[in-house]
Amino acid sequence: MKVALVGATGMVGTVMLKLLEERNFPVTELLPVASVTSIGKELNFKGHSHKIIGMEDAIAAKPDIAIFSAGGNTSLQWAPKFAEVGTTVIDNSSAWRMDPSKKLVVPEINAHVLTSEDKIIANPNCSTIQMVMALAPLHKKYSMKRVVVSTYQSVSGTGVKAVAQLENEIQGVSGEMAYPYPIHKNALPHCDVFEANGYTKEEMKLAREPQKILGDRTFSVTATAVRIPTAGGHSEAVNVEFTNDFDLSEVRRLLHEVPGITVQDNPDTNTYPMPIYAHNKDEVFVGRIRRDETQPNTLNMWIVSDNLRKGAATNAIQIAEYLVTEELV
């Protein structure tokens, strides 16, 4: 299994490399790919040094799978070129997510839609992944009508520059700014760029992607995405209105039965999900499960996950694992 990792030196790419090793993915040849400034440098994988190469050399090697985490423009330019030589691309950017010809996949929910003909597969937005993990079993049982979500997102979702900004501000050091304002001791209702409708791109991803993943446009999602000064892990307050009523004990049971979800929900012992506990874990944590008492058939939940792992790297590697297991590559 020849695997190209595009964006191997980036924040998510580094986690992907770690996960390929942790999960013992059957890599027989690793092709780490990065920008021109990194070509020729070496990185370690499974105790061996691997030289970083450029795009053209990686394509010439005709890898079985190419996992991309190098930004949307890079994916738009290069993913089709990998696909042309028979490589199956798993792309972590937003480039292909809403393309009607491409599958948008969370393996626990809709991996079954994949075929050997899918040569470019989209990895959903980090905030979308953790939310749909919890929503999917409940939608199947009770039928969602409307979702209202407010996110509390880590600076790591922006990248290395944002993490450095937070660290500099904590230490009282002047440095490059990833955001238009300080993030330390602050909260910015501004994730990604603003669109003409007044929502940010991040908020519109949360509105559109769940419908595609679940293959259902009968429900709607409205979102407010906020950046907070945590170093890792995204949190979400989710309010869901269903067509049918529910029992809270059954809701907890349904969530508990989903592979990849951990229910942490006991107010008596102050047990609830927090990003500090989700750090470096692959699960999606769900708690504060309670009925919205202001209207019928409506539920409140608090959902937390490590945005660099299940929100990005882990989900991509799980897609690759499914492709190998089902012999689709």
Q: Which residues contact 241 (CB under 8 A, 6 or more apart)?
A: 144, 145, 146, 147, 292, 295, 297, 298
**What is the Cβ-side half-sphere exposure of residue 239, based on CA atoms within 13 angstroms?**
11
Q: What are phi and psi of 266, to 5 degrees?
A: -145, 90
List residues with catalytic annotation.
126, 234
Q: From CA 218, how far away is CA 97, in angstroms rounded? A: 19
Taking alpha carbons only, the member of 152, 148, 128 closest to residue 219 is 148
Q: What type of residue is 237? A: A
The residue behind tokens 């939940």 is 301
The residue behind tokens 């940010």 is 200
Q: From CA 244, how far away is CA 214, in angstroms rounded? A: 18
Please tell me whether residue 14 adopts helix, strand or coil conformation. helix
Token pair for 90: 């798993």
Q: From CA 108, how far away is CA 129, in angstroms rounded? A: 10
Q: From CA 228, how far away is CA 307, in angstroms rounded? A: 13
Render 150-199 in DSSP notation, one character per residue: EEEE-GGGT-HHHHHHHHHHHHT-----SSSS--TT--BS--S-B-TTS-
- Name the β-bridge partners of 53: 33
Q: From CA 88, how far away is CA 76, in angstroms rounded? A: 14
Q: From CA 294, how far away is CA 137, in angstroms rounded? A: 23
Please tell me whether residue 259 adopts helix, strand or coil conformation. coil
